[in-house]
Amino acid sequence: MSMNKSAIETMKNRQSIRAYDTKKLSESDYQRIIEYITAEENLIGPFGNKGRIELVQVTNNISEKGIKLGTYGFIKNPQVYLVGLCENKKYSLLEFAYTFHKLVIYLTELRLGTCWMGGTFSRNSFERELQLAEGEFIPCITPSGYPQQKQRVFDKALRYVVKADNKKPWDQLFYDGSFAKPLEKANAAQLEIPIEMVRLGPSASNKQPWRLVLSEDRQKCHFYIEHTPNYSKSLGYDMQILDIGIAMAQFELACAELDIKGRWKIADPGLELPNSLTEYMVSWTQD
């Protein structure tokens, strides 16, 4: 990350912004975004899968090419859209969401609004706007711009209530050694804050499908997904995999700030799963 801001504070305070000011992006903010999305290291996931992110400028939801960009659900006055493109494969999606969420946090640090969108936009209109390579599709987009001031005050008041009420508690998400034993905050050792950042992360329809198991020696954290049955079948891809990529980014950014060294591995520990909907995804191993 950059700008010497606390990623942990940014993650705690970030919210979805749906109403934007009509003011265009400043030249410096526009340039910062272009630099970020064209830097190769910002587009590659921990296992080497690479996606791309395109910036589309809009006026009244019409792109510079004259294409009307459709979003279902109310997005007011977006100044730009950041559009993600990757392959429709499990780990491509996982790694892409991890890179895209780091961009979302970066935009938040620039005081720009964002709103993760995976299913509530017209893929067709965005595909017409961009040249898709063979095998590419658009898993997600975010509108961006300066948040509308009125909404900000309203959201601020709402946010603390919503964050507290709508996020599942630790004992429904995080486990100690195996799925048989819920993880208590006091037993999470130095990983308490990174794990809490996972809990606070955004997810599709706020389903929070992440499940983490902390190893008994506290050196590994295993990330699982608990699929919601038939959640995104109609979209032709498993949108909830994006949520695990978001969880990875939240966890890693917190670890980086706290100077906890580690790396991502795909190394299924073979734990007994609590149900048939739960699937192993990835592990964080401390160095």
Strands (DSSP E) found in the chain: 52-59, 62-63, 80-87, 113-114, 136-137, 141-145, 174-176, 210-214, 220-226, 262-265, 278-286
160 in a structural domain: no
Token pair, residue 129, equals 């706007």
Same domain, 146 and 172: no
118 in a structural domain: yes
106 in a structural domain: yes
CATH of the domain at 123: 3.40.109.10
Same domain, 270 and 176: yes
1 in a structural domain: no
Residues 6+ apart with CB under 8 A from 56: 63, 64, 69, 80, 81, 82, 83, 126, 129, 130
Query: What pLDDT does 154 receive?
Result: 53
Same domain, 196 and 233: yes
Query: What pLDDT does 156 receive?
Result: 57
Same domain, 228 and 138: no
Same domain, 202 and 142: no
Same domain, 13 and 127: yes
Same domain, 12 and 120: yes
Query: What pLDDT does 155 receive?
Result: 57
58 in a structural domain: yes
227 in a structural domain: yes
Same domain, 280 and 180: yes
Same domain, 148 and 215: no
Same domain, 147 and 177: no
Query: What pLDDT does 233 receive?
Result: 87
Which domain-ending residue is among 152, 187, 207?
152
CATH of the domain at 232: 3.40.109.30
Same domain, 33 and 139: yes
Query: What pLDDT does 165 receive?
Result: 58
Instruction: Please count the structural domains in the chain.
Output: 2
**Mean pLDDT (10-residue bins), the chain, 287 residues:** 75 93 96 98 97 96 92 90 98 98 98 95 94 94 92 54 72 98 96 97 95 97 96 92 98 98 98 98 96
Which domain-ending residue is among 87, 122, 152?
152
Domain coverage including residue 237? 168-286
pTM value surpassing 0.85:
yes
